[in-house]
Structure 1
Amino acid sequence: MPATPSNPDGPTDPTAAPTTAPTTALTADRSFDILIIGGGAAGITTAALLRGKTKCTIAIVDPATTHSYQPGWTLVGAGIFTLEQTTRAEATLIPNGVEWIKQAAATFEPDHNTVVLADGTRLAYRYLIACPGLQLDWGKIEGLTETLGRNGVCSNYRGDLAAYTWQYIRNFEGGRMIFTQPPMPIKCPGAPQKIAYLAADHLRRTNKRAGAEIEFCTALDALFGVGYFIPALKAAMQDHAIAVNYKTTLKAIDGPAKKAIFAVTAPDGTITEAIRAFDMIHVTPPQSAPDVLKTSPIANAAGFVEVHQATMQHVKFSNIFALGDAASTPNSKTAAAVRMQAPVLVRNLIAAMNAQPLTAAYDGYGSCPLTTAYGKIVLAEFTYGGKVTPSFPLDPRKPRYSGWLLKSKFLPFLYWNMMLKGNEFDIGHKERSFADAA
């Protein structure tokens, strides 16, 4: 295990560039003080925060040339945003003074403080920040890749397909709509049901609801991971007359025949096959850690970068940190989590550079604005252990228009203009209790 680089003469100035070279027995093509794997929300936010606090050499490794505000894709699928409103050129977001290496990471060599890129380039580092996000495993559903974007098979989990979702909802004239949710982990666990609510609400507003049969098929045994919000979501399902099928996992799709095959798990564990015809189906794909992590020494058995859930530091390699969807922290995988993780990671990384204790702690905060209708949001905020921690002194179980404004107006502004530019923002979430309605 490489030791955290230290200064025998005492703490160093965290704003100065480190002078100790990486401890590596292998020849590297290039070397950086801090190497960030992933240029999504986590990578850009962390780089921007670091650029304002240190003179270290920093590089971001990511081949993508387009950066997307993925929380906005549900609203693209509902006709509120265009895809163009959710995208920017990656080059415009790389912080000044940070080098962008347009390659994919292929191999992690933590014993040598080295990452090998897809083109064979070897990059050495003093500190590594791993945040490559989640991998969408479309191929795990038989027949899905061949029919995506055709035959009424939609998904808001790919930006270029979200407009197709809206096309089908807008033009729907009757029949069966199915919305699916796979086993965890997935990005934004509330997103699969948000689009079901919005579709039902649109049909109601356009007097087409009577001709539609809507089902929500989830591989889970509950609508949400934090029980406090489940009654509000059940009420939304009932209000929209959406049938909920638990422990029902999509396994295959025959697009031309418009049939979906599900594995249904009974309470006694028995699994049976169910075939459901559809006119439109919105698929949330299975998701996992990227393959490059699954086979690496920095990952746990599930393939995620194994870090301490409070400090974001690796449990074995003390000069490695991770955040975002690829980290092993047991929080909801949302942009809101990244917004709170990044400042903690940066403070602790700088402390590690200074050979000081890591005192900053991430509390597991996540936020999921659950869109239960056009103009209505159940704003779920919570921390580790399912503690309900709203930012506002309002009962978060009640759908509110203020939450809609937050989701559709303020959060995109916060993302592009504050978070990705390294500006810390926290209204001050805290644990609160609210009386149940009589």
Structure 2
Amino acid sequence: MTSAIKHEVVIIGGGAAGIATASSLLKRRPTLDIAIVEPANEHFYQPGWTMVGGGIFDAPVTRRSMASVMPQAATWIRQAAASFQPDNNEVTLADGTVVTYDLLIVAPGIRLAWEKISGLEATLGKNGVTSNYRYDLAPYTWDLVQRLKSGRAIFTQPPMPIKCAGAPQKAMYLSCDHWLRAGVLGDIEVEFRNAGGVLFGVHDYVPALMDYVEKYHIGLQLGSNLIAIDGPAQLATFRSEDGEVNHEFDTIHVVPPQVAPQFLADSPLAAESGFCDVDQNTLQHVRYPNVFGLGDAGSMPNAKTAAAARKQAPVVAVNALQQLDGHGPKAGYDGYGSCPLTVERGKIVLAEFGYGGQLQPSFPTWLIDGTKPQRLSWMLKADVLPWIYWNGMLKGREWLAGPANLVSH
């Protein structure tokens, strides 16, 4: 006999999106009965891992206990979700417990599919193979960067979707900046092998990025997808239109392919992509009105970034309360995402854009022109945004992120 528990609102995921949404809901309705389903004991500020890999942050500043970020008024269910039964308003947990809800918010994030690159898992963290996409590996990135004086450094990017599409490049630019300052860049062959067909998805930012590709003498290979790694031999296999090719490396920064969590992909809530099938503006599920989805697990065609979740959480909070009160959604999400591209130590190209690649700058261009590398953008990334994350977003303070009204189409 499985036990059953009931909560008014159940949130799947205690990451950036889940915690921010719970806090935004409780700011509006402090008496709301919310449960957050999250098995992890630690919460990470993942945008900081690029800075760890570049030697700017120490890894521990990006980590806090999950207990310290959980809203006090919410119930923390320390379990993993195993399956959804939305026709019965039920979630089944890994231990068999059934949780019923009036309203469900799906925010379990995206799964890093390391296993999709043959040989990768066995060699991560050694043989010069690293990735800033893992807390324990980002310090190894910085270690490799400091030790490399000559040879070949390869940076990879898998097919979309991935979280923070700029992160593969950020690792490369910060590494190159260090090698340039150390006087060894001329002895290092740097390659950026991107499975996609463009350097960056929003063309307005490409000219500034290409300036740095040329400055650092980076060999740019588009349509080149990493499929296998032999760590001990330091050999990487890439597939392109022309077939498969092996490349030796001294260091390689790998970004893993990324997919929807399996329990979501297998559920009635999934779109064909495996992600939670929601309306891209209201973030309400297209088949189940009492279900909302946001963050990296949502089917919306926006860039999967923490900045996107920061804008989505208030929209879900408003529309979820509307749903609970028997009304239709009234807040809209416009696809905003932000990708602060660290092109050198002390300068950032601050990409901010929404659906269709529309530029959405948060600041007037006389203060910050996001299409150009600027020092003020660096200060924002290094000093301001982490503080806003811990003290604003996760606490339900919607600075520069208040929900906009739904625009009728």
Query: Do they superpose with TM above 0.5?
Result: yes
Q: Where does residue 107 of structure 1 map in the other structure?
A: 83
The answer for unaligned runs of 5 or more in structure 2 is 405-409
Q: Is the 8 A contact 1:28 1:124 kept in 2?
A: no
After superposition, residues 231-310 of structure 1 pair within 5 angstroms as 231-265=207-241, 271-310=242-281
Q: Is the 8 A contact 2:25 2:318 kept in 1?
A: no
* CA distance, structure 2, for counterparts of residue 326 and residue 337 of structure 1: 12
Q: Which amino acid aligns with 1:210?
A: G
* CA distance, structure 2, for counterparts of residue 219 and residue 429 of structure 1: 35
Q: Which amino acid aligns with 1:378?
A: V
* CA distance, structure 2, for counterparts of residue 263 and residue 30 of structure 1: 49
Percent identity (aligned): 52
Matched position secondary structure for 2:28: coil
Bigger shift: 350-359 or 314-323?
A: 350-359
Once the 2 structures are TM-superposed, how far is the Cα of residue 56 of structure 1 from its aligned partner? 2.0
Q: Is the 8 A contact 1:41 1:335 kept in 2?
A: yes
Q: Where does residue 44 of structure 1 map in the other structure?
A: 19
Matched, 1:53 2:24: no
Once the 2 structures are TM-superposed, how far is the Cα of residue 27 of structure 1 from its aligned partner? 7.9
With over 3 angstroms needed to count, the CA separation of the structure-2 counterparts of 1:389 and 1:170, relative to structure 1, is same
Once the 2 structures are TM-superposed, how far is the Cα of residue 87 of structure 1 from its aligned partner? 0.4
Q: Where does residue 10 of structure 2 map in the other structure?
A: 35
Q: Where does residue 298 of structure 2 map in the other structure?
A: 327
* CA distance, structure 2, for counterparts of residue 79 and residue 299 of structure 1: 39
After superposition, residues 52-201 of structure 1 pair within 5 angstroms as 52-54=27-29, 55-201=31-177
For residues 133-163 of structure 1, give each alpha carbon's deviation from its aligned partner in whole angstroms, at most 9, with x where no partner exists: 0000000000000000000001000010000
With over 3 angstroms needed to count, the CA separation of the structure-2 counterparts of 1:186 and 1:177, relative to structure 1, is same
Q: Is the 8 A contact 2:336 2:352 kept in 1?
A: yes
Q: Which amino acid aligns with 2:118?
A: E
Q: Is the 8 A contact 2:314 2:403 kept in 1?
A: no
Q: Which amino acid aligns with 1:196?
A: M
* CA distance, structure 2, for counterparts of residue 417 and residue 393 of structure 1: 24
Q: Where does residue 361 of structure 2 map in the other structure?
A: 390
For residues 301-322 of structure 1, give each alpha carbon's deviation from its aligned partner in whole angstroms, at most 9, with x where no partner exists: 1100000111110000010001
With over 3 angstroms needed to count, the CA separation of the structure-2 counterparts of 1:46 and 1:206, relative to structure 1, is same
Once the 2 structures are TM-superposed, how far is the Cα of residue 364 of structure 1 from its aligned partner? 0.5
Q: Is the 8 A contact 1:106 1:115 kept in 2?
A: yes
Q: Where does residue 384 of structure 2 map in the other structure?
A: 410
Matched, 1:422 2:401: no
Q: Is the 8 A contact 2:156 2:194 kept in 1?
A: yes
Matched, 1:399 2:373: yes
* CA distance, structure 2, for counterparts of residue 181 and residue 413 of structure 1: 29
Matched position secondary structure for 1:408: helix
Q: Which amino acid aligns with 1:336?
A: A
Matched position secondary structure for 1:192: helix
TM-score normalised according to structure 1 size: 0.90
* CA distance, structure 2, for counterparts of residue 428 and residue 95 of structure 1: 19
- Pair member with larger Rg: 1
Task: Give the number of aligned pairs.
Answer: 400
RMSD: 1.4
* CA distance, structure 1, for counterparts of residue 16 and residue 403 of structure 2: 21
Q: Is the 8 A contact 1:28 1:114 kept in 2?
A: no
For residues 347-395 of structure 1, give each alpha carbon's deviation from its aligned partner in whole angstroms, at most 9, with x where no partner exists: 0111111112211000100010011111110001011111011112223
For residues 29-81 of structure 1, give each alpha carbon's deviation from its aligned partner in whole angstroms, at most 9, with x where no partner exists: 10000000000000111111112222121100010001000000000001110
Q: Where does residue 353 of structure 1 map in the other structure?
A: 324
Matched, 1:340 2:311: yes
Q: Is the 8 A contact 2:310 2:401 kept in 1?
A: no
